[in-house]
A and B are shown apart, each in its own frame.
Chain A
Amino acid sequence: MTRELIQQELTSVFRDVFDNETILITDQTTAKDIPQWDSLNHINLIIAAEQRFKIKFLTAEITRLANVGQFVELILKKTKS
């Protein structure tokens, strides 16, 4: 999967989780930019991404995410291996 494809799929995951078809994400997007992005929805995002990309995040990986860019990188790494 290419980085662009992942970004595209992840956008659709975000739209699903936040139930908002207008959401656009960039590498710099953080929880502060999306009002409903609280701790509950954060876990929902993680699980939705796990299901969509058929991967499983490690405990430490979930903690370390600072922005969407890192999220995409992480998925890229995990879908390759």
Chain B
Amino acid sequence: MNDFLDWLPLHEDFPESLRRIKESNAPPVERLPALAELANYRLDFLQISKLDSLLQPLLSDPAPGFISVKLGILAGSTMDHLLPALRVSALRRKIRLHCYLGPFDQIHQEVLTPNSGLWEFRPDMVLLAPQGSDFGDWKQLWKAVVSHGAAVIQQNMAISPLRIFGEADRGLPGTPACELGELNLHLARDAAEEGVALLDLEELASRVGKETWFDWPLWYHAKQAIPLAHAALWGDHVARLVAALRGASRKCLALDLDNTLWGGVIGDEGLEGIELGSGSALGEAYQAFQTYLKRLKERGVILAVSSKNDERNARLPFERHPEMRLRLEDMSCFVSHWNDKATQLKQIAQTLNIGLDAIVFFDDNPVERAFIREALPMVAVPEVPKDPAGYIGCLSSAGYFEALRLTPDDAQRTSHYAANQKREVLKNESHDLEGFLRGLDMRMTVEPFDPVSRPRIAQLVNKSNQFNLTTRRYTEAQVQQWEQTSDALTFQIRLLDRFGDNGMISVVILQALGPDQEGRRGLRIDTWLMSCRVLGRQVEREVLNVIVAQAKRRNYDFLRGEYIPTEKNGLVRDHYQNLGFKQGRAAWILDLKAYQPWRTTIQSNYHEGSLEYTHDA
């Protein structure tokens, strides 16, 4: 049994559930979600292998709500035995993972040969899993991978417990402990610098315990460096990086209050009665959990409250308890009433303008957890340990909020969402929309793509689903290619208002078309997306004003837009029509000569090098 994935619940009758899926005649689109639901349980390697054999034939069929990712794997050890766990872990995150496993110990050859099996496979991402200290120039490998438009996942080295001199080995050059330790350090630093996703195998090996991790008979027999018994743990860690690279990490943690953030029931026991802070071991455990949550919040995870309480009681500790580490302003959304928790989570998702599949629900009550798993299967629900001293460990090892690296926007995001709540209040009070928008005092800045903003652009491109006309996904490397394409116009759009900086909220990519029969020059709108946080604020109109001005300046005659429908982007079905585009044969056309700029309440600025255009609201 897989003791290291203990945030996943155990299944009561796995064989029966699997049999039902196997024997059902449901079409693949219905079987995949059923398998994904099973993947959310804690399974041993035999169960994983059975699930995987049902999964594999379904992988090639597109299914709504599932992302498809092609992962190339190059390794200095045998990895075949790990693929089932990898595919199942990806499925847990609604990812249909296609794997290519390169020939044994041919990392450099595969990466550096342009027509190798790896590049024939056209991977979105490449996992590099070297063995031993002789890994050569990894930066050169990373560069080569990125030049093919793929993202890198770099695995570091598990350091074996073998010693040459003894305790001093770590400081003695030439010993494995020293060599691999330094290699890991350099890999980690370079990865952070180059924006490469790092897979910390050494940490996994330590967690499991080196004596168990290093199974020497298996190494000599089959060159398996990662033991099958821990394939599920390894697979989950790879899958969370794959998801993060696709912008599919969770964003929001919805927290219960009583016996989750403090001991006892605030409504019954009152401010003095609840257990929190120094004085008791339990109180310290709850407080430490709050401190940990505060760190998560500071790095961009959105915190919300989902509690069955009178709201006044629920707020009391946040306002008045001296040992509280979390305050009201740390909670981006506070929902406390006596309706069921599914209603509460929906309310949180709606207020924060995020999907339910971005939420993790943390509640000490197993009945509430079971209810949410049943009612809202897209919400992640960890098995919360009985002992609050284990809360931090549970959240930390579950890795729901995997962040590849910190973008400046990440840190600001939580305050955006809090400001959004204030805007909602203002909107409710203000009856005249025009007046409301004017009162927001919106200022928009627009610039072409640049290297500094690349990570945030890639993040938006990969996770915007609703306001996204074409849902084309690009890796950071591909974003860079757009940046450098001479016949493309790229726009990154930021928005400020009186409540704060919304950060980058929209991305547009235009590409020149060849002249048409009448010799007119046009631009194809390859990508147009926007964060739903700023919906209903005329942002898209002002964006169009800016785009048109820039296109005209370059003597283009028309814009050609297309709408590619998906499960989630019904919101923008009439986008081009609403903006005044005319229905053409296969696309929407906007004649630039006849274009009358929209009147908006947004002041915009376009910068490009030293050029600047301002439009006053």
Partner of A62 from B49, B217, B228, B229 at Cβ < 8 Å? B217
State whether B50 touches A47 (Cβ < 8 A): no
Interface centre among B50, B217, B228 (most CB of A within 10 A): B217
Are A47 and B228 in touch, CB under 8 angstroms?
Answer: yes
Determine if B165 is an interface residue (Cβ-Cβ < 8 Å): no
| A44 B81 Cβ-Cβ under 8 A | yes
**With contact pairs A19-B53, A58-B217, A59-B216 given, residues A43 and B46 touching in the complex (Cβ less than 8 Å):** no
How many residues on chain B are close to A (CB under 8 Å)? 18
Residues 209-227 (chain B) with a chain A CB within 8 angstroms: 216-218, 220-222, 224, 227
Which listed residue, B217, B224, B227, touches A59 by the CB 8 Å rule?
Answer: B217
Asked whether, in the complex, the Cβ of A57 is within 8 Å of the Cβ of B217, the reply is yes
Q: By the criterion CB–CB under 8 Å, are B221 and A43 in contact?
A: yes
Residue of B nearest to A15 (CB): B46
**B361 interface contact, C-beta 8 A:** no
Interface string of A44-60 (1 = CB under 8 A from B): 10011001000001110
Any chain A CB within 8 A of the CB of B45? yes
Contact with B along A26-70 (1 / 0, CB 8 A): 000000000000011001100110010000011100110000000
Smallest Cβ-Cβ distance to A60: which chain B residue: B217
Contact status B45-A43, CB under 8 Å: no
Interface size range on A against B: 10 to 19
- Of the residues B49, B216, B220, contact of A44 by C-beta under 8 Å: B49
Q: Is B516 an interface residue (CB 8 A)?
A: no
A17 within 8 A of B: yes
* Minimal beta-carbon separation of B278 from chain A (angstroms): 44
A17 contacts across to B, CB distance below 8 A: 46, 49
- Residues from chain A with a CB closer than 8 A to the CB of B220 are 59
Complex partner residue of B221 from A19, A51, A63, CB under 8 angstroms = A63
In the bound complex, what is the Cα–Cα distance between A63 and B220 (angstroms)? 11
Q: Is B432 an interface residue (CB 8 A)?
A: no
Instruction: Name A19's contact: one of B50, B217, B229 (CB within 8 Å).
Output: B50
How far does the Cβ of A55 sit from chain B's closest Cβ, in whole Å?
12
Q: Give Cα A15 to B544, complex, Å.
A: 63
Q: Is B12 an interface residue (CB 8 A)?
A: no
- Over the window 110-121 of chain B, the binary record of Cβ atoms lying under 8 Å from chain A Cβ atoms (1 yes, 0 no) is 000000000000
Docked Cα-Cα span, A80 to B224, in Å, equals 29
Whether A16 pairs with B81 at a CB distance below 8 angstroms is no
A62→B80 CA distance, assembly (Å)? 19
In the complex, what residues of A have CB within 8 A of residue B44's CB?
Answer: 51
A11 to B80, CA, bound (A): 24
With CB as the reference atom, state the residue of chain B lying closest to A47: B228
Across-interface contacts of A59 in B (CB, < 8 A): 216-217, 220-221
Residues A51 and B229 in contact in the complex (CB < 8 Å), given A16-B46, A59-B220: yes
Q: B218 is contacted by which of A39, A43, A63 (Cβ under 8 Å)?
A: A43
A62 and B45 alpha carbons, distance in the complex (Å): 20
Q: Chain A residues with Cβ under 8 A from B227's Cβ?
A: 47
Residues of B within 8 A of A47 (CB): 45, 218, 227-229
Please, which residues of chain B bring their CB within 8 A of the CB of A16?
46
Distance in Å: Cβ of B123 to nearest Cβ of chain A:
22
Shortest Cβ distance from residue B574 to the other chain A in the assembled complex, whole angstroms: 50
- Asked if residues A43 and B224 are in contact (CB atoms below 8 Å), the reply is yes
Give bound CA distance, A51 to B212, whole Å. 13
In the assembled complex, which residues on chain B have CB atoms less than 8 Å from the CB atom of A48? Answer: 45-46
Residues of chain B lying within 8 A (CB to CB) of residue A51: 44, 229
Residues on B with C-beta less than 8 A from A57 are 217
- Given A59-B216, A62-B217, also A40-B81 (CB < 8 A): yes
Q: A residues within 8 A CB of B222?
A: 39-40, 43
A39 to B221, CA, bound (A): 10
Q: Contacts of A39 on B, CB cut-off 8 Å?
A: 222
A62 touches B46 (CB 8 A): no
Does A40 lie within 8 Å of B217, measured CB to CB?
Answer: no
B323 to chain A, nearest CB (A): 46
Question: Which chain A positions have C-beta within 8 A of B228?
Answer: 43-44, 47
Cβ of A36 to closest chain B Cβ, rounded Å: 10
Give the docked Cα–Cα distance between A59 and B49 (Å). 25
Question: How far apart are A20's CB and chain B's nearest CB, in angstroms?
Answer: 11
17 pairs, A vs B, C-beta closer than 8 Å: A16-B46, A17-B46, A19-B49, A40-B81, A40-B222, A43-B222, A43-B228, A44-B228, A47-B45, A47-B227, A47-B229, A48-B45, A58-B217, A59-B217, A59-B221, A62-B217, A62-B221
Q: Given contacts A43-B228, A51-B229, could you give 20 more A-B pairs where the C-beta distance is less than 8 Å?
A: A16-B46, A17-B46, A17-B49, A19-B49, A19-B53, A39-B222, A40-B81, A43-B218, A43-B221, A43-B222, A43-B224, A44-B49, A44-B81, A44-B228, A47-B45, A47-B229, A59-B220, A59-B221, A62-B217, A63-B221
Chain B residues with a Cβ under 8 A of chain A: 44-46, 49-50, 53, 80-81, 216-218, 220-222, 224, 227-229
A residues with CB within 8 A of B:
16-17, 19, 39-40, 43-44, 47-48, 51, 57-59, 62-63
- A-B CB proximity, top 6 nearest: A59-B217, A16-B46, A43-B222, A47-B228, A40-B80, A19-B50
